[in-house]
Amino acid sequence: MNDTSPPLEEDLVHDAEDRLRPDFVKEVLDDVREGRLEEACSLVAELHPADRADLVELAPEADRADLIAALGSLLDADVYAEMNEHVRELVVEEMEPEQAAELTGDMETDDAVALLEDLDDDDQRAILDVMEPDDRAAIEEALSYPEESAGRIMQRDLIAVPEHWNVGQVIDYMRSDEELADDFWEVFVVGPLHHPVGTTKLSTLLRTKREVPIADIMQEEQTLIPVDMDQEEVALKFQKYALISAAVVDPSGRLVGMITVDDIVHIIQEEAGEDALLLSGAGEGDINEPVREAYSGRIRWLIANLGTALLATFVIAQFEDTIARLAILAALMPIVAALGGNAGTQALAVTVRALATNQLTGTNRARAIRREFFVALLNGVTIAIILGIGVAIFLDPMIGVVIGAAILFNILVAGLAGVLVPVILDRFGADPAVASSVFVTTVTDTMGFLAFLGLASAVLL
């Protein structure tokens, strides 16, 4: 151990943001392409499993099979547990069922479930059929819980001890059994029916004398996760109560598993990040998603958008005569729609975020709506003045008045739609991020064109 060496030596593998450097990836791929397999393996052997997974993801599809064959056992269960699900699905589909079964058998249950649940039923069945009976039973049980529920993401390996033990007994038990899991941060204390009655952090256990009863140091207040709880709610609980791990219980209250925070950070990131994708109508929106899936995810929203755009067209068409007589209106009207759309999207993004993080509830709903109204009023007045005066000076005073009034009205409508649409969807149990955009844009487009062209027809002609 050379304690005087610089601690942060230059990293030839990672760039400043901890991503694999393109020239490193190229070096490995060139080695594989040109048959220098030992060189490739020795480069990869130094990498963390997460980086090995990144390497497979970053390799062009045409090179992946050769890369995987070349790396062999360097791509173990830990690597597959870290891999992007779309890439992993492609790779696993190419494997023999026996090979895939051995891989999943080496994984923790939650990782094995994550791998298998993405496969077709036939592929899944073929792999399960050749697994060890123990592994198969654990995975089949996990797969019996709903998708994205606590039962799918929990681990079954945990430390549970009876409440009459003392600290010394707990420590001796942990030292005695080689089979016990190594990744745990809390010990669960259970009653005779295997119901959790308390929990003890390892730090507390370590800092307590051996003869103290575990019941004296355990924390009785604990967050219990029902096995069918949605993973998004599990993630919110972990955040809200700053949990490191939590007990999962079945409907009768028995301890059946444990969820640890390292399994949750991915979910927190996914759930928080998917709002941007959902609001844009980009579906799952992963860059490793195959083109045909990306297409089918996005085209439906484009078609929905086409439908609502036709509504706007219908509104404009009612004013064909007005436009024929004063064609400059056609050039100005997109401004009213665009600004309304943007203001609506702002209010929408804020509201969807507040709903997703449980900050907007029945208690402060009215206040949030009032707040958006005032923000919209300030924005609307500002834009109306700038645009109205500009148009009045450079074009025509009356058109300036008309467009100012129309845009103020449309920004107010946009602010209210941006908060009301997601709140209403949420109350009816729909995901406010999914469909809100289409509703809000429809409202701001049609109202914008209607207000501007309607006012213009009444005042200018």
Return the beta strands (E) in 6-149 as ranges. none
Options 100, 101, 256, 264; binder of a copy of itself; rule CB under 8 A: 264
Site string (192-221) toward a copy of itself, x via CB under 8 A: xx-xxx---xxxxxxxxx-----x----xx
Q: How far is the CB of 291 from a copy of itself (least distance, A)?
A: 5
Q: In 3-state terms, what secondary structure has residue 66?
A: helix
Question: The dihedral of CA 221, 227, 233, 234: what is its sign?
Answer: positive
Options 354, 408, 417, 421; binder of a copy of itself; rule CB under 8 A: 354
Residue whose CB is less far from a copy of itself, 123 or 163: 163
Options 241, 389, 393, 424; binder of a copy of itself; rule CB under 8 A: 241
Options 359, 424, 427, 459; binder of a copy of itself; rule CB under 8 A: 359
Phi then psi for residue 166, to 5 deg, are -105, 175
Options 121, 144, 211, 362; binder of a copy of itself; rule CB under 8 A: 362
Q: How far is the CB of 357 from a copy of itself (least distance, A)?
A: 7
Here the tokens at position 36 are 């220098």
Compute the distance between CA of residue 99 and CA of residue 94 in angstroms, rounded to an integer.
Answer: 10
Beta bridge mates, 411: none
Return the beta strands (E) in 112-270 as ranges. 160-162, 186-190, 196-201, 224-226, 245-249, 255-260
Going by their DSSP bridges, the two strands 186-190 and 196-201 should be labelled as antiparallel
Options 67, 83, 375, 451; binder of a copy of itself; rule CB under 8 A: 375
* Binding window for a copy of itself (CB under 8 A); candidates: 31-39, 98-106, 137-145, 246-254: 246-254
Compute the distance between CA of residue 221 and CA of residue 241 in angstroms, rounded to an integer.
Answer: 11
If one counts every other C-beta atom within 10 angstroms of the C-beta of residue 366, the result is: 9
Q: Is 424 in the site for a copy of itself (CB under 8 A)?
A: no
Q: Is 454 in the site for a copy of itself (CB under 8 A)?
A: no
Q: Is 352 in the site for a copy of itself (CB under 8 A)?
A: yes
Q: Is 401 in the site for a copy of itself (CB under 8 A)?
A: no
Residue whose CB is less far from a copy of itself, 317 or 430: 317
Options 320, 389, 430, 459; binder of a copy of itself; rule CB under 8 A: 320
How many residues lie near a copy of itself (CB under 8 A)?
155
Q: What angle do CA 178, 156, 210 make, to 5 degrees?
A: 50
Q: Is 367 in the site for a copy of itself (CB under 8 A)?
A: yes
Return the beta strands (E) in 269-387 as ranges. none
Q: Is 337 in the site for a copy of itself (CB under 8 A)?
A: yes
Options 120, 147, 183, 216; binder of a copy of itself; rule CB under 8 A: 183
Q: Is 143 in the site for a copy of itself (CB under 8 A)?
A: no
Compute the distance between CA of residue 138 and CA of residue 65 in angstroms, rounded to an integer.
Answer: 30
- Residue bearing tokens 């507390």: 204
Q: Is 160 in the site for a copy of itself (CB under 8 A)?
A: no
Q: In 3-state terms, what secondary structure has residue 186?
A: strand
Q: Is 317 in the site for a copy of itself (CB under 8 A)?
A: yes
Q: Is 305 in the site for a copy of itself (CB under 8 A)?
A: yes
Here the tokens at position 187 are 């010990």
**Segment 77 to 96, residues that bind a copy of itself, using CB under 8 A:** 84
Options 6, 121, 133, 134; binder of a copy of itself; rule CB under 8 A: 6
Q: Is 133 in the site for a copy of itself (CB under 8 A)?
A: no
**Segment 30 to 59, residues that bind a copy of itself, using CB under 8 A:** 48, 50, 57-58
Q: Is 249 in the site for a copy of itself (CB under 8 A)?
A: yes
Q: Is 169 in the site for a copy of itself (CB under 8 A)?
A: no
- Closest C-alpha to 188, from 227, 244, 238, 268: 244
Q: Is 378 in the site for a copy of itself (CB under 8 A)?
A: yes
Q: How far is the CB of 35 from a copy of itself (least distance, A)?
A: 22
C-alpha distances in angstroms, 438 versus 118, 167, 304, 412?
Answer: 29, 59, 7, 18
CA dihedral 293, 299, 304, 306 (to 10 degrees): 170
Q: Is 455 in the site for a copy of itself (CB under 8 A)?
A: no
Residue whose CB is less far from a copy of itself, 121 or 287: 287
Here the tokens at position 234 are 């599990």
Check: CB of residue 222 under 8 Å from CB of residue 194: no
Check: CB of residue 78 under 8 Å from CB of residue 44: no
Options 272, 392, 405, 455; binder of a copy of itself; rule CB under 8 A: 272
Residue whose CB is less far from a copy of itself, 101 or 355: 355
**Segment 96 to 125, residues that bind a copy of itself, using CB under 8 A:** none
Q: How far is the CB of 119 from a copy of itself (least distance, A)?
A: 22
* CA atoms within a 13 Å half-sphere pointing along the CA-CB vector of 37: 10
Question: Which residues are CB-contacts of 332 (< 8 A; sequence separation ≥ 6)?
Answer: 391, 399, 403, 452
Residue whose CB is less far from a copy of itself, 75 or 131: 75
Q: Is 288 in the site for a copy of itself (CB under 8 A)?
A: yes
How does DSSP classify residue 185? Answer: S
Here the tokens at position 264 are 């949750």
